[in-house]
Structure 1
Amino acid sequence: MAHKSDNIFAKPMQSVRDFAFDEAVADVFPDMIQRSVPGYESIIHTIGEIASRHVSTHSRVYDLGSSLGAASLSIARATADHPCEIIAVDNSPAMTERCKRIVAGFSLPNPIKVICDDIQNVVIENASMVVMNFTMQFIPPADRKALLNKIYAGLNPGGVLVLSEKIRHPSTAGNELLIDLHHQFKRNNGYSELEISQKRAALEKVMLIDTFADHEKRLRDSGFADVVMWFKCYNFTSLVAIK
Protein backbone atom coordinates (compact mmCIF):
# COMPACT_ATOMS: atom_id res chain seq x y z
CA MET A 1 0.00 0.00 0.00
CA ALA A 2 1.39 3.41 -0.97
CA HIS A 3 2.03 5.80 1.90
CA LYS A 4 0.71 9.35 1.88
CA SER A 5 3.38 11.93 1.08
CA ASP A 6 4.58 14.25 3.81
CA ASN A 7 3.85 17.82 2.76
CA ILE A 8 3.03 19.22 6.22
CA PHE A 9 5.66 21.95 5.99
CA ALA A 10 5.47 22.51 2.22
CA LYS A 11 3.59 25.82 2.37
CA PRO A 12 4.84 29.01 4.07
CA MET A 13 3.53 29.36 7.63
CA GLN A 14 2.99 32.72 9.27
CA SER A 15 3.85 31.10 12.60
CA VAL A 16 5.45 27.65 12.92
CA ARG A 17 3.93 25.83 15.89
CA ASP A 18 5.76 23.26 17.95
CA PHE A 19 5.92 19.81 16.40
CA ALA A 20 3.32 17.34 17.70
CA PHE A 21 2.49 13.74 16.87
CA ASP A 22 -1.05 14.64 15.88
CA GLU A 23 -3.45 13.32 13.23
CA ALA A 24 -1.66 15.13 10.42
CA VAL A 25 1.73 13.64 11.35
CA ALA A 26 0.31 10.16 11.99
CA ASP A 27 -1.28 10.28 8.53
CA VAL A 28 2.07 10.72 6.76
CA PHE A 29 4.46 9.27 9.35
CA PRO A 30 5.84 6.34 7.30
CA ASP A 31 6.82 8.71 4.47
CA MET A 32 8.13 11.34 6.89
CA ILE A 33 10.38 8.93 8.78
CA GLN A 34 11.77 7.26 5.66
CA ARG A 35 12.70 10.59 4.09
CA SER A 36 14.01 12.15 7.30
CA VAL A 37 15.95 9.47 9.21
CA PRO A 38 18.91 7.86 7.41
CA GLY A 39 19.11 4.11 7.92
CA TYR A 40 15.64 3.82 9.47
CA GLU A 41 14.83 0.52 7.73
CA SER A 42 18.17 -0.95 8.85
CA ILE A 43 17.50 0.14 12.42
CA ILE A 44 14.05 -1.47 12.45
CA HIS A 45 15.39 -4.69 10.91
CA THR A 46 18.28 -4.86 13.38
CA ILE A 47 15.97 -4.32 16.35
CA GLY A 48 14.39 -7.61 15.30
CA GLU A 49 17.82 -9.24 15.01
CA ILE A 50 18.73 -8.06 18.52
CA ALA A 51 15.38 -9.33 19.81
CA SER A 52 16.03 -12.79 18.32
CA ARG A 53 19.21 -12.96 20.41
CA HIS A 54 18.05 -11.42 23.68
CA VAL A 55 14.30 -11.91 24.17
CA SER A 56 13.69 -14.78 26.55
CA THR A 57 10.65 -17.05 26.74
CA HIS A 58 7.72 -15.73 28.81
CA SER A 59 9.35 -12.32 29.32
CA ARG A 60 8.08 -8.91 28.28
CA VAL A 61 9.32 -6.51 25.62
CA TYR A 62 8.49 -2.81 25.90
CA ASP A 63 8.46 -0.52 22.86
CA LEU A 64 8.38 2.94 24.45
CA GLY A 65 7.32 5.67 22.06
CA SER A 66 6.10 3.07 19.60
CA SER A 67 4.47 5.43 17.05
CA LEU A 68 2.95 3.13 14.37
CA GLY A 69 4.53 -0.03 15.79
CA ALA A 70 7.38 -0.68 13.32
CA ALA A 71 9.81 -1.82 16.03
CA SER A 72 7.15 -3.93 17.76
CA LEU A 73 6.28 -5.68 14.51
CA SER A 74 9.96 -6.38 13.80
CA ILE A 75 10.33 -7.88 17.28
CA ALA A 76 7.16 -9.95 17.00
CA ARG A 77 8.30 -11.51 13.74
CA ALA A 78 11.82 -12.20 15.04
CA THR A 79 10.75 -13.95 18.25
CA ALA A 80 8.51 -16.71 16.90
CA ASP A 81 10.48 -19.31 18.85
CA HIS A 82 10.25 -17.36 22.11
CA PRO A 83 6.69 -16.77 23.36
CA CYS A 84 6.67 -13.30 24.92
CA GLU A 85 4.44 -10.30 25.52
CA ILE A 86 5.18 -7.16 23.50
CA ILE A 87 3.85 -3.91 24.95
CA ALA A 88 3.82 -0.89 22.64
CA VAL A 89 3.32 2.44 24.41
CA ASP A 90 2.81 5.91 22.93
CA ASN A 91 1.17 9.04 24.34
CA SER A 92 -0.31 10.09 20.98
CA PRO A 93 -3.93 8.94 20.50
CA ALA A 94 -3.55 9.44 16.74
CA MET A 95 -0.51 7.14 16.67
CA THR A 96 -1.90 4.44 18.95
CA GLU A 97 -5.25 4.22 17.14
CA ARG A 98 -3.48 3.69 13.83
CA CYS A 99 -1.00 1.32 15.46
CA LYS A 100 -3.83 -0.86 16.75
CA ARG A 101 -5.32 -1.10 13.26
CA ILE A 102 -1.93 -1.91 11.70
CA VAL A 103 -1.14 -4.61 14.28
CA ALA A 104 -4.59 -6.15 13.87
CA GLY A 105 -3.89 -6.62 10.17
CA PHE A 106 -1.09 -9.14 10.79
CA SER A 107 -1.04 -12.70 12.05
CA LEU A 108 1.84 -12.50 14.51
CA PRO A 109 3.64 -15.25 16.46
CA ASN A 110 3.70 -13.00 19.53
CA PRO A 111 0.91 -10.59 20.48
CA ILE A 112 1.41 -6.82 20.61
CA LYS A 113 -0.54 -4.91 23.24
CA VAL A 114 -0.89 -1.24 22.26
CA ILE A 115 -1.32 1.27 25.09
CA CYS A 116 -1.92 5.03 24.92
CA ASP A 117 -0.08 6.51 27.89
CA ASP A 118 2.93 8.56 28.89
CA ILE A 119 5.89 6.17 28.94
CA GLN A 120 6.96 7.68 32.26
CA ASN A 121 3.80 6.19 33.80
CA VAL A 122 4.41 2.64 32.57
CA VAL A 123 5.59 -0.02 35.01
CA ILE A 124 8.51 -2.01 33.56
CA GLU A 125 8.78 -5.58 34.87
CA ASN A 126 10.05 -8.99 33.74
CA ALA A 127 11.58 -7.33 30.67
CA SER A 128 14.22 -8.97 28.51
CA MET A 129 14.22 -6.04 26.08
CA VAL A 130 13.17 -2.40 26.05
CA VAL A 131 13.21 -0.25 22.90
CA MET A 132 13.24 3.53 22.71
CA ASN A 133 13.47 4.28 19.01
CA PHE A 134 13.93 8.06 18.67
CA THR A 135 11.91 8.66 21.83
CA MET A 136 14.26 9.87 24.57
CA GLN A 137 14.91 13.09 22.63
CA PHE A 138 11.28 14.10 23.30
CA ILE A 139 11.46 13.41 27.06
CA PRO A 140 12.25 16.47 29.24
CA PRO A 141 16.01 16.32 29.98
CA ALA A 142 15.43 16.48 33.74
CA ASP A 143 13.32 13.29 33.55
CA ARG A 144 15.68 11.15 31.44
CA LYS A 145 17.81 9.72 34.24
CA ALA A 146 14.78 8.60 36.28
CA LEU A 147 13.30 6.91 33.21
CA LEU A 148 16.54 5.00 32.59
CA ASN A 149 16.69 3.98 36.24
CA LYS A 150 13.15 2.58 35.95
CA ILE A 151 14.00 0.69 32.76
CA TYR A 152 17.17 -0.76 34.27
CA ALA A 153 15.28 -1.90 37.39
CA GLY A 154 12.61 -3.61 35.27
CA LEU A 155 15.06 -5.46 33.02
CA ASN A 156 16.01 -9.03 33.83
CA PRO A 157 19.74 -9.82 34.15
CA GLY A 158 21.22 -9.89 30.65
CA GLY A 159 18.34 -7.79 29.32
CA VAL A 160 18.95 -5.02 26.81
CA LEU A 161 17.81 -1.49 26.07
CA VAL A 162 17.96 -0.42 22.43
CA LEU A 163 18.20 3.36 22.31
CA SER A 164 18.08 5.18 18.96
CA GLU A 165 18.61 8.94 19.00
CA LYS A 166 19.52 11.97 17.00
CA ILE A 167 22.67 13.25 18.67
CA ARG A 168 24.74 16.42 18.87
CA HIS A 169 28.46 16.34 18.06
CA PRO A 170 30.48 18.03 20.84
CA SER A 171 32.33 20.46 18.55
CA THR A 172 30.47 23.25 16.74
CA ALA A 173 32.18 22.65 13.40
CA GLY A 174 31.62 18.90 13.54
CA ASN A 175 28.00 19.35 14.54
CA GLU A 176 27.36 21.79 11.69
CA LEU A 177 28.88 19.31 9.23
CA LEU A 178 26.52 16.56 10.40
CA ILE A 179 23.53 18.90 10.24
CA ASP A 180 24.47 19.93 6.70
CA LEU A 181 24.84 16.31 5.60
CA HIS A 182 21.46 15.47 7.11
CA HIS A 183 19.83 18.42 5.36
CA GLN A 184 21.34 17.25 2.07
CA PHE A 185 19.88 13.78 2.77
CA LYS A 186 16.47 15.46 3.07
CA ARG A 187 16.97 17.47 -0.11
CA ASN A 188 17.89 14.28 -1.94
CA ASN A 189 14.61 12.80 -0.69
CA GLY A 190 12.57 15.64 -2.17
CA TYR A 191 12.19 18.08 0.72
CA SER A 192 12.44 21.76 -0.16
CA GLU A 193 14.49 24.37 1.71
CA LEU A 194 11.22 25.75 3.09
CA GLU A 195 10.16 22.34 4.43
CA ILE A 196 13.56 21.73 6.02
CA SER A 197 13.61 25.18 7.63
CA GLN A 198 10.03 25.11 8.95
CA LYS A 199 10.32 21.60 10.35
CA ARG A 200 13.58 22.51 12.07
CA ALA A 201 11.80 25.48 13.69
CA ALA A 202 8.89 23.25 14.76
CA LEU A 203 11.24 20.77 16.45
CA GLU A 204 13.53 23.33 18.07
CA LYS A 205 11.80 23.44 21.45
CA VAL A 206 10.42 19.88 21.62
CA MET A 207 13.30 17.69 20.42
CA LEU A 208 16.22 18.32 22.78
CA ILE A 209 19.22 16.21 21.83
CA ASP A 210 22.31 15.07 23.73
CA THR A 211 25.81 13.99 22.75
CA PHE A 212 26.68 10.31 22.64
CA ALA A 213 28.84 10.87 25.74
CA ASP A 214 25.79 12.24 27.61
CA HIS A 215 23.78 9.14 26.73
CA GLU A 216 26.59 6.75 27.62
CA LYS A 217 27.21 8.38 31.01
CA ARG A 218 23.52 8.28 31.96
CA LEU A 219 23.25 4.64 30.94
CA ARG A 220 26.34 3.62 32.90
CA ASP A 221 25.24 5.70 35.90
CA SER A 222 21.94 3.79 35.80
CA GLY A 223 23.88 0.53 36.11
CA PHE A 224 24.22 -0.80 32.56
CA ALA A 225 27.35 -2.94 32.24
CA ASP A 226 28.07 -2.14 28.60
CA VAL A 227 26.99 0.40 26.00
CA VAL A 228 27.50 -0.61 22.36
CA MET A 229 27.00 1.82 19.47
CA TRP A 230 25.99 -0.44 16.58
CA PHE A 231 24.69 2.16 14.10
CA LYS A 232 25.63 5.71 13.14
CA CYS A 233 24.85 7.80 10.08
CA TYR A 234 25.35 11.57 10.21
CA ASN A 235 23.81 12.71 13.51
CA PHE A 236 21.66 9.60 14.00
CA THR A 237 22.75 6.67 16.12
CA SER A 238 21.46 3.51 17.73
CA LEU A 239 23.02 1.69 20.65
CA VAL A 240 22.47 -1.33 22.84
CA ALA A 241 22.84 -1.06 26.61
CA ILE A 242 23.27 -4.41 28.36
CA LYS A 243 22.32 -5.13 31.96
Structure 2
Amino acid sequence: MNDKVFTKPIEKQFEFNEEVAVVFDDMLNRSVPFYKESQKITEFFALKQLKDGGLIYDLGCSTASLLISISKQLKIEAILIGLDNSDAMLEQARKKCQALGATIDLQNADILEYDYKQADVFVSNYTLQFIRPLVREELVKKIADSLKKEGIFIFSEKVISHHSKLNKDLIECYYDFKKEQGYSEYEIMQKREALENVLVPYSEDENIKMAKNCGFSHCEVVFRWANFATFIAIK
Protein backbone atom coordinates (compact mmCIF):
# COMPACT_ATOMS: atom_id res chain seq x y z
CA MET A 1 0.00 0.00 0.00
CA ASN A 2 1.33 3.47 -0.88
CA ASP A 3 2.30 5.94 1.84
CA LYS A 4 -0.12 8.87 1.85
CA VAL A 5 0.02 9.55 5.60
CA PHE A 6 1.18 13.16 5.23
CA THR A 7 -1.03 14.24 2.34
CA LYS A 8 -3.43 15.68 4.93
CA PRO A 9 -2.77 18.17 7.76
CA ILE A 10 -1.07 16.64 10.81
CA GLU A 11 -2.85 16.83 14.16
CA LYS A 12 -0.15 15.35 16.43
CA GLN A 13 3.47 14.25 16.57
CA PHE A 14 4.59 11.23 14.58
CA GLU A 15 3.77 7.82 16.05
CA PHE A 16 3.91 4.25 14.79
CA ASN A 17 0.16 3.70 14.75
CA GLU A 18 -2.05 1.56 12.50
CA GLU A 19 -2.18 4.20 9.76
CA VAL A 20 1.62 4.21 9.56
CA ALA A 21 2.00 0.44 10.01
CA VAL A 22 -0.02 -0.53 6.94
CA VAL A 23 2.15 1.64 4.65
CA PHE A 24 5.41 1.36 6.57
CA ASP A 25 7.30 -0.81 4.09
CA ASP A 26 6.52 1.64 1.28
CA MET A 27 7.42 4.56 3.59
CA LEU A 28 10.83 3.05 4.34
CA ASN A 29 11.70 2.30 0.74
CA ARG A 30 10.71 5.80 -0.40
CA SER A 31 11.98 7.75 2.63
CA VAL A 32 15.34 6.10 3.40
CA PRO A 33 17.94 6.36 0.62
CA PHE A 34 19.38 3.00 -0.44
CA TYR A 35 17.42 1.25 2.30
CA LYS A 36 17.57 -2.15 0.61
CA GLU A 37 21.32 -1.87 0.12
CA SER A 38 21.95 -0.98 3.78
CA GLN A 39 19.76 -3.90 4.82
CA LYS A 40 21.76 -6.29 2.62
CA ILE A 41 24.92 -5.18 4.40
CA THR A 42 23.22 -5.67 7.76
CA GLU A 43 22.09 -9.15 6.73
CA PHE A 44 25.59 -10.05 5.52
CA PHE A 45 27.27 -9.24 8.83
CA ALA A 46 24.45 -10.75 10.90
CA LEU A 47 24.58 -14.04 8.98
CA LYS A 48 28.38 -14.23 9.26
CA GLN A 49 28.17 -13.68 13.02
CA LEU A 50 25.35 -16.11 13.82
CA LYS A 51 26.43 -19.61 14.83
CA ASP A 52 24.33 -22.73 15.37
CA GLY A 53 22.07 -22.07 18.36
CA GLY A 54 22.84 -18.35 18.19
CA LEU A 55 20.55 -15.45 19.03
CA ILE A 56 19.80 -12.18 17.25
CA TYR A 57 17.64 -9.30 18.50
CA ASP A 58 16.08 -6.69 16.23
CA LEU A 59 15.20 -3.65 18.32
CA GLY A 60 12.25 -1.76 16.88
CA CYS A 61 11.67 -4.55 14.39
CA SER A 62 8.57 -2.83 12.87
CA THR A 63 7.12 -5.21 10.24
CA ALA A 64 10.00 -7.70 10.67
CA SER A 65 11.28 -7.43 7.08
CA LEU A 66 14.93 -7.76 8.12
CA LEU A 67 14.42 -10.81 10.34
CA ILE A 68 12.23 -12.49 7.71
CA SER A 69 14.98 -12.03 5.12
CA ILE A 70 17.63 -13.36 7.52
CA SER A 71 15.46 -16.36 8.40
CA LYS A 72 15.19 -17.28 4.72
CA GLN A 73 18.98 -17.29 4.32
CA LEU A 74 19.93 -19.14 7.51
CA LYS A 75 21.78 -22.43 7.02
CA ILE A 76 21.81 -23.11 10.79
CA GLU A 77 19.40 -23.17 13.71
CA ALA A 78 19.17 -19.76 15.38
CA ILE A 79 16.72 -17.78 17.50
CA LEU A 80 15.38 -14.59 15.92
CA ILE A 81 13.63 -12.16 18.27
CA GLY A 82 11.94 -8.98 17.12
CA LEU A 83 10.99 -6.37 19.71
CA ASP A 84 8.67 -3.43 19.15
CA ASN A 85 6.34 -1.35 21.31
CA SER A 86 3.74 -0.84 18.57
CA ASP A 87 0.91 -3.38 18.42
CA ALA A 88 0.05 -2.14 14.93
CA MET A 89 3.56 -2.84 13.64
CA LEU A 90 3.66 -6.27 15.28
CA GLU A 91 0.31 -7.16 13.74
CA GLN A 92 1.71 -6.42 10.28
CA ALA A 93 4.86 -8.38 11.17
CA ARG A 94 2.87 -11.44 12.24
CA LYS A 95 0.84 -11.37 9.02
CA LYS A 96 4.04 -11.26 6.96
CA CYS A 97 5.69 -14.06 8.97
CA GLN A 98 2.63 -16.26 8.52
CA ALA A 99 2.38 -15.55 4.80
CA LEU A 100 6.09 -16.19 4.22
CA GLY A 101 6.50 -19.10 6.64
CA ALA A 102 9.09 -17.36 8.82
CA THR A 103 9.61 -18.48 12.42
CA ILE A 104 10.33 -15.32 14.42
CA ASP A 105 9.61 -14.56 18.07
CA LEU A 106 7.79 -11.21 17.96
CA GLN A 107 7.25 -9.45 21.27
CA ASN A 108 5.68 -6.18 22.37
CA ALA A 109 8.40 -4.77 24.62
CA ASP A 110 10.09 -1.66 25.93
CA ILE A 111 13.64 -2.08 24.64
CA LEU A 112 14.96 0.02 27.53
CA GLU A 113 13.49 -2.32 30.15
CA TYR A 114 13.67 -5.70 28.38
CA ASP A 115 15.62 -8.53 30.05
CA TYR A 116 18.01 -9.56 27.28
CA LYS A 117 19.73 -12.94 27.07
CA GLN A 118 23.33 -13.22 25.90
CA ALA A 119 23.20 -12.70 22.15
CA ASP A 120 25.47 -12.90 19.12
CA VAL A 121 23.92 -9.99 17.23
CA PHE A 122 21.84 -6.91 17.96
CA VAL A 123 20.30 -4.91 15.13
CA SER A 124 18.66 -1.50 15.35
CA ASN A 125 17.35 0.14 12.18
CA TYR A 126 16.59 3.84 12.68
CA THR A 127 15.49 3.15 16.25
CA LEU A 128 18.10 4.83 18.48
CA GLN A 129 17.18 8.22 17.02
CA PHE A 130 13.74 7.87 18.62
CA ILE A 131 15.23 7.13 22.06
CA ARG A 132 15.57 10.23 24.25
CA PRO A 133 19.24 11.32 24.40
CA LEU A 134 19.15 11.15 28.22
CA VAL A 135 18.69 7.38 28.11
CA ARG A 136 20.11 6.48 24.69
CA GLU A 137 23.59 5.72 26.01
CA GLU A 138 22.05 3.63 28.77
CA LEU A 139 20.39 1.44 26.13
CA VAL A 140 23.59 1.05 24.10
CA LYS A 141 25.46 0.01 27.26
CA LYS A 142 22.76 -2.56 27.96
CA ILE A 143 23.20 -3.90 24.43
CA ALA A 144 26.98 -4.16 24.87
CA ASP A 145 26.58 -5.94 28.21
CA SER A 146 24.16 -8.43 26.61
CA LEU A 147 26.45 -9.38 23.72
CA LYS A 148 28.83 -12.31 23.77
CA LYS A 149 32.53 -11.58 23.38
CA GLU A 150 33.19 -10.27 19.85
CA GLY A 151 29.43 -9.99 19.31
CA ILE A 152 28.21 -7.21 17.03
CA PHE A 153 25.69 -4.39 17.10
CA ILE A 154 24.61 -3.17 13.65
CA PHE A 155 22.63 0.04 13.67
CA SER A 156 21.42 2.48 11.05
CA GLU A 157 20.70 6.10 11.89
CA LYS A 158 19.93 9.44 10.36
CA VAL A 159 22.95 11.64 11.11
CA ILE A 160 23.66 15.33 11.30
CA SER A 161 26.70 17.48 10.57
CA HIS A 162 27.91 20.07 13.06
CA HIS A 163 28.98 22.24 10.13
CA SER A 164 25.87 24.39 9.70
CA LYS A 165 26.10 24.92 5.92
CA LEU A 166 26.94 21.30 5.22
CA ASN A 167 24.11 20.12 7.46
CA LYS A 168 21.67 22.38 5.59
CA ASP A 169 22.93 21.06 2.24
CA LEU A 170 22.62 17.45 3.40
CA ILE A 171 18.99 18.07 4.33
CA GLU A 172 18.34 19.70 0.96
CA CYS A 173 19.96 16.73 -0.78
CA TYR A 174 17.71 14.37 1.17
CA TYR A 175 14.57 16.36 0.34
CA ASP A 176 15.49 16.18 -3.35
CA PHE A 177 15.68 12.41 -2.96
CA LYS A 178 12.20 12.33 -1.40
CA LYS A 179 10.77 14.42 -4.24
CA GLU A 180 12.25 11.92 -6.71
CA GLN A 181 10.31 9.21 -4.85
CA GLY A 182 7.05 11.04 -5.49
CA TYR A 183 6.62 12.94 -2.22
CA SER A 184 5.30 16.49 -2.53
CA GLU A 185 6.75 19.57 -0.83
CA TYR A 186 3.65 19.57 1.39
CA GLU A 187 4.15 15.94 2.50
CA ILE A 188 7.83 16.59 3.23
CA MET A 189 6.96 19.66 5.33
CA GLN A 190 4.21 17.79 7.18
CA LYS A 191 6.47 14.89 8.11
CA ARG A 192 9.27 17.23 9.18
CA GLU A 193 6.89 18.98 11.58
CA ALA A 194 5.49 15.68 12.88
CA LEU A 195 9.01 14.42 13.68
CA GLU A 196 10.10 17.63 15.42
CA ASN A 197 11.52 16.70 18.85
CA VAL A 198 10.52 13.05 18.26
CA LEU A 199 13.48 12.08 16.07
CA VAL A 200 16.76 13.41 17.53
CA PRO A 201 19.78 12.37 15.42
CA TYR A 202 23.44 12.40 16.44
CA SER A 203 26.43 13.04 14.19
CA GLU A 204 28.52 10.16 12.87
CA ASP A 205 31.27 10.94 15.40
CA GLU A 206 28.80 11.14 18.28
CA ASN A 207 27.37 7.71 17.45
CA ILE A 208 30.84 6.16 17.31
CA LYS A 209 31.89 7.85 20.55
CA MET A 210 28.70 6.64 22.26
CA ALA A 211 29.36 3.04 21.19
CA LYS A 212 32.93 3.12 22.48
CA ASN A 213 31.89 4.78 25.75
CA CYS A 214 29.39 1.95 26.28
CA GLY A 215 31.90 -0.89 26.02
CA PHE A 216 32.42 -1.58 22.33
CA SER A 217 36.07 -2.00 21.31
CA HIS A 218 35.47 -0.76 17.77
CA CYS A 219 32.80 1.08 15.80
CA GLU A 220 32.75 2.41 12.26
CA VAL A 221 30.47 3.26 9.37
CA VAL A 222 30.03 0.53 6.75
CA PHE A 223 27.54 2.39 4.56
CA ARG A 224 26.60 6.04 4.20
CA TRP A 225 24.53 8.18 1.85
CA ALA A 226 24.42 11.91 2.73
CA ASN A 227 22.82 12.04 6.20
CA PHE A 228 21.99 8.31 6.53
CA ALA A 229 24.53 5.86 7.92
CA THR A 230 24.89 2.22 8.91
CA PHE A 231 27.34 1.44 11.72
CA ILE A 232 28.86 -1.77 13.03
CA ALA A 233 30.09 -1.93 16.63
CA ILE A 234 32.16 -4.88 17.84
CA LYS A 235 32.35 -5.89 21.50
TM-score of the aligned structures, taking structure 2 as reference length: 0.97
Superposition deviation, residue 75 in structure 1: 2.1
Superposition deviation, residue 39 in structure 1: 0.8
1:213 aligns with 2:205: yes
C-alpha distance after superposition, 1:89-119 (max 9, x if no partner): 00001001110111122234xx310001111
Aligned match of 1:52: 47
Superposition deviation, residue 16 in structure 1: 4.1
1:101 aligns with 2:95: yes
Superposition deviation, residue 207 in structure 1: 0.4
1:8 to 5, 26, 42: 5
CA distance in structure 2 between the partners assigned to 1:43 and 1:213 by the alignment: 19
Look up the SS of the partner of 1:220 in the other structure: helix
Aligned match of 2:111: 119
Superposition deviation, residue 44 in structure 1: 1.6
Matches within 5 A, 1:18-167: 18-78=13-73, 80-108=74-102, 111-167=103-159
Counterpart code for 2:109: D
Q: Which moved more, 1:29-38 or 1:44-53?
A: 44-53
Superposition deviation, residue 58 in structure 1: 1.1
Superposition deviation, residue 205 in structure 1: 1.6
Look up the SS of the partner of 1:97 in the other structure: helix
Aligned match of 1:184: 176
CA distance in structure 2 between the partners assigned to 1:160 and 1:182 by the alignment: 29
Task: Verify the 8 A CA contact 2:208 2:220 in the aligned structure 1.
Answer: no
C-alpha distance after superposition, 1:53-103 (max 9, x if no partner): 11122121000000000111122123x222110100000010011101111
Task: Verify the 8 A CA contact 1:16 1:198 in the aligned structure 2.
Answer: no
Task: Verify the 8 A CA contact 1:124 1:155 in the aligned structure 2.
Answer: no
CA distance in structure 1 between the partners assigned to 2:141 and 2:157 by the alignment: 18
- Identical aligned pairs, as a percentage? 34
Task: Verify the 8 A CA contact 2:57 2:80 in the aligned structure 1.
Answer: yes
CA distance in structure 1 between the partners assigned to 2:132 and 2:23 by the alignment: 25
Provide the aligned C-alpha RMSD in A.
1.1
Superposition deviation, residue 126 in structure 1: 2.1
Superposition deviation, residue 40 in structure 1: 0.5
C-alpha distance after superposition, 1:19-60 (max 9, x if no partner): 000010001111111110001111222221112211122121
Look up the SS of the partner of 2:160 in the other structure: coil
Task: Verify the 8 A CA contact 1:57 1:83 in the aligned structure 2.
Answer: yes
Unaligned regions of 5+ residues in structure 2, if any? none
CA distance in structure 1 between the partners assigned to 2:157 and 2:130 by the alignment: 10
CA distance in structure 2 between the partners assigned to 1:175 and 1:217 by the alignment: 20
Unaligned regions of 5+ residues in structure 1, if any? none
Counterpart code for 1:165: E
Task: Verify the 8 A CA contact 2:52 2:78 in the aligned structure 1.
Answer: yes
